[in-house]
């Protein structure tokens, strides 16, 4: 995947983050997915007073893509938050990613300081990235 396209996806996620509805956690996340047709869909986290009904930014972006393009596949996904280390997706989002992206989905994790960590989804399922980040 070209660097320019990666940067475009991360920028789209940063912009989408502005719309995050986060009155409970105040932790805003933005995401952007690239489909196999070359389209970009963005999403932010949308919280709920029940908390469990909260939708993560990644799932918002994926569900927007799937609802707009029947039978599409996701090639890459960017995730951005204002964190010390690049923001890593939660287990529920990884499960949704594998449904529509597969094991070689490119996961571009970033923060607002410009740090990035790029992995294939398969690597995230084994917890290796978490160890790398938390060491
Ligand atoms: N969140 C995301 O949207 N994506 C992530 O990768 C991490 C967590 C959201 C869920 C909730 O609104 C807030 O961040 C705090 O967990």
CA 36–ligand 1 middle distance (angstroms): 25
Q: Reduce the DSSP state of residue 4 to 3 states and report it.
A: helix
Average pLDDT over residues 12-17: 98
Percentage of the residues of the chain whose pLDDT score is greater than 90:
87
Residue 24 Cβ < 6 Å to ligand 1: no
Average pLDDT over residues 93-116: 95
pLDDT score at 125: 80
Residue 54 Cβ < 6 Å to ligand 1: yes
CB-based contact 110:10 (threshold 8 Å): yes
Give the distance from CA 9 to its chain's centroid: 10
Confidence band (pLDDT; 50, 70, 90) for 133? low
Distance CA 76, CA 1 (A): 9
CA 73–ligand 1 middle distance (angstroms): 23
Residue 56 Cβ < 6 Å to ligand 1: yes
Percentage of the residues of the chain whose pLDDT score is greater than 70:
93
Average pLDDT over residues 20-37: 98
- The model's pTM is 0.93
């Amino acid at each position: 995947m070209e660097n320019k396209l990666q940067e475009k996806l991360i920028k789209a996620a940063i912009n989408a983050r502005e719309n995050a509805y986060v009155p409970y956690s105040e932790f805003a996340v933005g995401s952007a997915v690239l489909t196999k047709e070359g389209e970009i869909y963005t999403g932010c986290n949308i919280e709920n007073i029940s908390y469990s009904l909260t939708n993560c930014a990644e799932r918002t972006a994926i569900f927007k893509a799937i609802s707009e393009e029947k039978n599409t596949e996701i090639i890459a996904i960017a995730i951005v938050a204002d964190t010390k280390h690049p923001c890593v997706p939660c287990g529920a989002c990884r499960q949704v990613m594998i449904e529509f992206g597969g094991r070689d989905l490119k996961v571009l994790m970033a923060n607002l300081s410009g740090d990035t960590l790029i992995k294939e989804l398969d690597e995230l399922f084994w917890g290796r990235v978490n160890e790398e980040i938390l060491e």
